[in-house]
Structure 1
């Protein structure tokens, strides 16, 4: 979740949604995203809406945050009315959610269940840094109802972790994964980053192999993006670090796809691999397939029925608005049919199952097939699926197809 917020239309003080957004409510899957904006330190590459203790200032705290989040969950219930909305997935992200006590995360989850009800077999994920949990912590998460943990591993090489300003040691990851599995979690993800300045192909292979040795059922691998305003961007600008190279990034992606595939993890989204459909992140799949979700927390984004809104950034402003009984939303936009079509193509084309061919510009789609960017598919009800080469050039392919 980026630190900057876009402009948009005003939101009513009570958070009421346009009538069109509420049409069909309950016929689409519904989810919650809970943003926990706290970190011990800010990693040099991070552009997310997070705050260290010294940056937080008055008006918000880790100790009061669960109550603030619960207040927004209750506001969501008021805004969405009495529609039957069983929550299929909950994803707690950050920041570092596991800086909060597991009991606080459990209270927020319990509030979601009390107000909306968790669907049978709901997926409940939290992100965590390897150094932010211990054996007792993950056991309490499981007792609270969490079903999945996503660890920010990033790399297994110390010099790469140092450039990223990550504080855990490489040996910490297999230890916490072991604790998590012993606590009863069947689904564990490891996040990796490739393209860090100073990383070699061998470093990247070592990170992948270390991740695989921990036997997660899901791995996410993301290309490093040098975001404006970060310490990493300043280091690159001063010439202290070399910016990521596009050709090297492509090579790292190919290495990841080959190694992960050889160990039984198949891509189901451009940056995500899983051992099977049951291991895929259902929460992210809801994002990619146009579901409804409510984002709780400062800077969190939400989407219901083609209306998208985003909350004020600072935790103190977010808490103050909820204490007053007014929406924490900063602004919103109502997507028109053309925008929704483009967004659907952008998101669904990233998936291994692709998007309906009839959404695409047919001439551009045929050209993409001829260029080896899309798998051949019938133009009367078929689905457009990226080839491996197409995945490497996905952004350009999507631009051409829309």
Structure 2
């Protein structure tokens, strides 16, 4: 279900407050490609297999439809100079589309807005959905970062997750990406899957590191309502992931990744260098602006957040009629924005300025320091930076600071 909100005008017009300061904040694009070959049992993203699409939508026409939304974005945002710092193609599986289609969508963004010098351009991919030729086409077309969904190196864990690739394929995909000229490659991992052991998780980390990416993201499995995995847990076929096990797996990940030279910069992300950090996600986490293209995609400009209709057919129909695909939106209050800033920036290794915390948070922040959740040296410099223990308890700490 999409959240409620105020209606988006057919023109897509944003409130004047959203356009204040436009161009003074980093600006990016997220392009959602909602197609998957099969549906993974744990996934609740807005995705569709070919059998689920129905009439009025097709993978063949998707690039042309998405380009219409890019043109709409230019009309809505006016003539302001908005060099695009980052572009991220996510899904779904963007690489189910022909590589030429992804390049066409990127070229449309460049034509309408202009890519900033050195812009980061990423696409997600399932390892089995690309080959060397496909990657070379992306690289020649302006993509410079790949993110592969590895999830696990253990076959029985992949089976629980309903992932289709063979365990050795992610490493081969990383190698092919390097050979195609990609300097920056990420692997996504999932831990605390039912049936996974500590040994399985260590083997996954070893395999991921051996593949040679310069970035690794590791996320604890969340059982989302409405997924096939949730149904299996509800029927008692699989146990619910254990929070204590997840914490132990996180500690293993941080130990092994740090020893290999990858440093955490956000709770779930480790990079081999500053250049290897995902600049698109940093744009999200530091209050930048972005336009979300595609069914169900979310955008944010100047404190106004909106989200598109979910189904590809409804999305295509609105754009064909010359209307915005926006479903609803909300204007964040100053208080909402302040809370979101704490929630996002505290997850980063740069932390949050103590001077910007609300007065009522002083007791909570002093307690967090005493409990070993914040780095003492950073605290002396006026920053709230999480310790390793603090990263494990970040959600509770954020609630405490924003209460």
Alignment of 1:327 with 2:327, yes or no, is no
What TM-score results when the alignment is normalised by the length of structure 2?
0.98
Aligned match of 2:272: 275
Structure 2 portions without partners, runs of 5+: none
Alignment of 1:292 with 2:293, yes or no, is no
User: CA 1:222/1:379 → structure 2, altered by over 3 Å: closer, same or farther?
Assistant: closer
Distance 1:46 1:309 in 2: 22
Distance 1:399 1:357 in 2: 16
1:221 Cα deviation (Å)? Answer: 0.1
SS of residue paired to 2:391: helix
Instruction: Select which of 154, 161, 175 maps to 2:172.
Output: 175
1:234-313 aligned within 5 A: 234-313=231-310
CA contact (8 A) 1:357 1:381 kept: no
Aligned match of 2:111: 114
Which stretch shifts more, 185-194 or 363-372? Answer: 363-372
Distance 1:377 1:25 in 2: 36
1:380 Cα deviation (Å)? Answer: 8.8
1:378 Cα deviation (Å)? Answer: 7.3
SS of residue paired to 1:152: strand
Aligned match of 2:384: 384
SS of residue paired to 2:6: coil
1:158-169 aligned within 5 A: 158-169=155-166
Aligned match of 1:398: 398
Distance 1:279 1:120 in 2: 17
Distance 1:125 1:396 in 2: 32
Q: In the comparison of the two structures, how many residue pairs are matched?
A: 399
Alignment of 1:193 with 2:190, yes or no, is yes
Distance 2:172 2:395 in 1: 37
CA contact (8 A) 1:219 1:274 kept: yes
Deviations 1:349-388 (A, max 9, x none): 0000011112321111111101111122677971111111
Distance 2:67 2:178 in 1: 29
What TM-score results when the alignment is normalised by the length of structure 1?
0.98
Structure 1 portions without partners, runs of 5+: none
1:173 Cα deviation (Å)? Answer: 1.1
SS of residue paired to 1:374: coil
Aligned match of 2:123: 126
1:12 Cα deviation (Å)? Answer: 1.0
Aligned match of 2:335: 338
CA RMSD of aligned residues (A): 1.0
1:245 Cα deviation (Å)? Answer: 0.5
Distance 1:44 1:329 in 2: 28
Distance 2:119 2:76 in 1: 23
SS of residue paired to 1:395: helix
Instruction: Select which of 190, 205, 209 maps to 1:208.
Output: 205
